[in-house]
Structure 1
Amino acid sequence: MVKETQLYDLLGVSPSASDAEIKKGYRKMALKYHPDKPTGNEEKFKQVSEAFQILSDPDKREVYDQYGLEAARGNAPAGNPFAGAGAGAGAGGPGGPGGTFHFSTGNGGGAHQFSSTDAFNLFNQFGGFEDLFGGMGGAGGGSGSPFGNAHFTSSSSSMPGGMPGGMPGGFGGASGYGGGSQYARQQREPEVIDLNVPCTLEQLYTGALKKMKIKRRGPGGQIESTIVPIQLKPGWKAGTKITYKGMGDYQDGQRQTIRFIITEKPDPNFTRDGNNLKTTLKLTFKESLLGFQKVVTTLDGRRIPVNKTTTTQPGSLTKYPDLGMPISKQPGHHGDLIVEFDVDYPAYLNDRQKEAVREVF
């Protein structure tokens, strides 16, 4: 019987969940609440990450099961058998009632407060960037990588068996427990620089990999160039933001954060209205009266027949469901394609034409 289930509930798993189920639950919930997702919630993202950080460590999980969250954080209430034991995690196993428990927060005593920086670090070490943005062709790297710590998976080939810190599956140390995280908390937040990413409507329809070349200042003031890949998801709208930490100019001992903002280029054939696509079909006056057979080519190259045998009023509309823009929050669903008819209505009739109208009407 566990003392509380709060952390298990955050990951959507039961208290008897296996390590694999805990990892799966973390991945699902971290992707759901990541601040760069439409469903993002930074506070929830941080809570989910801390839950995984504790439950994926066998020692901390046992402390949590027996004594609750504050104990697992290292804030031992008076009377607990591991109260005051601040050094040597793993120096002894958890004991039964009356025994001793050697527990460490990794910062030399005293509990570390789990931060948003810790959450992003854990997410990155877990490979979260590729899940979030659909993969970048395996692009990753160590200190020489152009991606810095911009919410991107960083390889660590010099650390066999995974990162240090004792987390199962090689994810330890990503939580930021230790002096490095404390230093990060003391630094001010880096400046955020906004850069526009012009995209065609076709790219936002089908999805595309954009490679943005940026210039930035290095630690010595030198100008550097680097390529930043941005994976566009089908259905993204103008105003969508993608954040890269540590990718801008080097300033006050740290790099600026770059926030890319999606903008939409005008399209010669279509305009976007939310999730719908609008296009105009030109008709002659004769076609508007007698009918027509035409084709509309969609942004992904499909040819949609547009036929009519009855009269067509100028400015009238025809709607084609599920042929509009993909809906990014509802994969597999699309908005509507709306065709507006522009009739070349005659501004002048000669005598013969007037007589023909009189005879017919």
Structure 2
Amino acid sequence: MGVDYYNILRVSKNANEEDLKKAYRRLAMKWHPDKNSQNKKEAEAKFKQISEAYDVLSNSHKRQIYDLYGEEVLKSGQFDPASPTGVGGGGGGRGFKYDPRDAEDIFAEFFGRPEGIYKGSPAHDGVNRGTPRKAAPVENKLPCSLEELYKGSKRKMKISRIVLDDAGKPVTVEEVLTIHIKPGWKKGTKITFPEKGDYEAGAAPGDLIFVVDEKPHGVFKRDGNDLVIHHKISLLDALTGKTIKLTSLDGRDLTVEISEIVKPGQEKVIPDEGMPISKEPGKKGNLRIKFDIKFPSRLSADQKCDLRRVLGRHAQ
């Protein structure tokens, strides 16, 4: 019989129209050349075989000739129903012309034609046809602590999505995806898992996208690549100096000496103690300490007198 179209589509010889559609839908989506960039030549050959098999078996006239006489007679163009072998031999039989359908035309009936690609256009040459229409992407927030964004981390996310089973029926499956969070990633960073979204009729699965969101931190606030901390300091310490002890986001102890007089609204900048810069490995932003000077709520007459005596000459 030559080519076994039933085997190509993995259906029985009693397959009905719905069986053929399910089989074609599943195999054509799997072997479309635009979805197989690593093995495009093999995919093109399989895609054409699948399309040819569906074209023949879904057409009652072609299928009848194929079942009775095989692929060679079907394609010969010499089919003659009056001949015992099906091949015309100069008798008075009615001829049959085998007219194969274009593989992309069949695909378009199921999944739609890629935008801007039409029969007869220069791109419709069997090589550069664009990609099948994809379902809309699905976006989910990925809340991350400031510690995770500082040090980096690995996250495992369990997802549920709708796919087609081997019979072409939509089913829900669960899958675990691994997300590698890189040091320095910012709010709004997108991590895309191609075609891990839900199946939609007439389209390839959409992409699944996780969008980084930043959880509030109890001590630090992020400002671009910098880290900002508000530190309360007494008026006495602001005038006489103080040693501040902090814990970094990766657990290190930081000691900051404040020796100069701190003025209201002033901040101290500690270079290279901010957030890692994801696009410049090894580099970090700054740590900025903003001081909130705590003034005494009241002073006694003697305290005021002492302050005037000590500070009076500096106020002039």
Query: Could you say if the C-alpha distance between residues 324 and 175 of structure 1 is closer, same or farther in structure 2, counting changes exceeding 3 Å?
Result: farther
Query: Could you say if the C-alpha distance between residues 255 and 189 of structure 1 is closer, same or farther in structure 2, counting changes exceeding 3 Å?
Result: closer
Aligned 8 A contact 2:133 2:204 in 1: no
Tell me how far apart the structure 1 counterparts of residues 290 and 219 of structure 2 sit (CA, whole Å): 12
Aligned 8 A contact 2:225 2:285 in 1: yes
Superposed CA deviations along residues 209-234 of structure 1, whole A, max 9, x for unmatched, are 11122222343454433221110111
- Structure 1 residue 186: deviation in Å? 6.2
Aligned match of 1:215 in 147, 150, 160?
A: 160
| One-letter amino acid matched to 2:291 | F
Query: Could you say if the C-alpha distance between residues 287 and 222 of structure 1 is closer, same or farther in structure 2, counting changes exceeding 3 Å?
Result: same
Query: Could you say if the C-alpha distance between residues 256 and 311 of structure 1 is closer, same or farther in structure 2, counting changes exceeding 3 Å?
Result: same
- Structure 1 residue 256: deviation in Å? 2.6
User: Does the residue aligned with 1:250 lie in a helix, a strand or coil?
Assistant: coil
Tell me how far apart the structure 2 counterparts of residues 335 and 177 of structure 1 sit (CA, whole Å): 51
Tell me how far apart the structure 2 counterparts of residues 334 and 279 of structure 1 sit (CA, whole Å): 16
| 2:254 alignment partner in structure 1 | 304
Q: Does 1:288 align with 2:233?
A: no
Identity %: 35
Aligned residues: 197
RMSD: 2.7
- Structure 1 residue 329: deviation in Å? 0.9
Query: Could you say if the C-alpha distance between residues 178 and 286 of structure 1 is closer, same or farther in structure 2, counting changes exceeding 3 Å?
Result: farther
| Unpaired stretches in structure 2, ≥5 consecutive residues | 1-32, 49-103, 112-129, 312-316
| 1:231 alignment partner in structure 2 | 180
Q: Does 1:324 align with 2:269?
A: no
- Structure 1 residue 245: deviation in Å? 1.7
Aligned positions of 1:154-165 closer than 5 A: none
Tell me how far apart the structure 1 counterparts of residues 210 and 304 of structure 2 sit (CA, whole Å): 60
Tell me how far apart the structure 1 counterparts of residues 276 and 145 of structure 2 sit (CA, whole Å): 14
Aligned 8 A contact 2:225 2:286 in 1: yes
Query: Could you say if the C-alpha distance between residues 259 and 178 of structure 1 is closer, same or farther in structure 2, counting changes exceeding 3 Å?
Result: farther
Aligned 8 A contact 2:135 2:199 in 1: no
| 2:215 alignment partner in structure 1 | 265
- Structure 1 residue 202: deviation in Å? 0.9
For normalisation by structure 1, the TM-score amounts to 0.49
Query: Could you say if the C-alpha distance between residues 177 and 296 of structure 1 is closer, same or farther in structure 2, counting changes exceeding 3 Å?
Result: farther
For normalisation by structure 2, the TM-score amounts to 0.56
Query: Could you say if the C-alpha distance between residues 276 and 290 of structure 1 is closer, same or farther in structure 2, counting changes exceeding 3 Å?
Result: same
Superposed CA deviations along residues 42-89 of structure 1, whole A, max 9, x for unmatched, are xxxxxxxxxxxxxxxxxxxxxxxxxxxxxxxxxxxxxxxxxxxxxxxx
Query: Could you say if the C-alpha distance between residues 347 and 274 of structure 1 is closer, same or farther in structure 2, counting changes exceeding 3 Å?
Result: same
| One-letter amino acid matched to 1:199 | C
Tell me how far apart the structure 2 counterparts of residues 228 and 174 of structure 1 sit (CA, whole Å): 30
| One-letter amino acid matched to 2:184 | G
Tell which structure's C-alpha radius of gyration is larger.
2
| 1:164 alignment partner in structure 2 | none
User: Does the residue aligned with 1:342 lie in a helix, a strand or coil?
Assistant: strand
4+ residue runs over 3 A deviation: 172-186, 218-224
| One-letter amino acid matched to 2:226 | N
Which moves more between the two structures, 234-243 or 306-315? 306-315
Q: Which has the higher contact order (CA 8 A, sep 6+)?
A: 2
Tell me how far apart the structure 2 counterparts of residues 175 and 285 of structure 1 sit (CA, whole Å): 78
| One-letter amino acid matched to 2:300 | N
Tell me how far apart the structure 2 counterparts of residues 201 and 344 of structure 1 sit (CA, whole Å): 28
Query: Could you say if the C-alpha distance between residues 179 and 356 of structure 1 is closer, same or farther in structure 2, counting changes exceeding 3 Å?
Result: farther
Query: Could you say if the C-alpha distance between residues 359 and 258 of structure 1 is closer, same or farther in structure 2, counting changes exceeding 3 Å?
Result: same
| Unpaired stretches in structure 1, ≥5 consecutive residues | 1-113, 123-171
| 1:356 alignment partner in structure 2 | 306
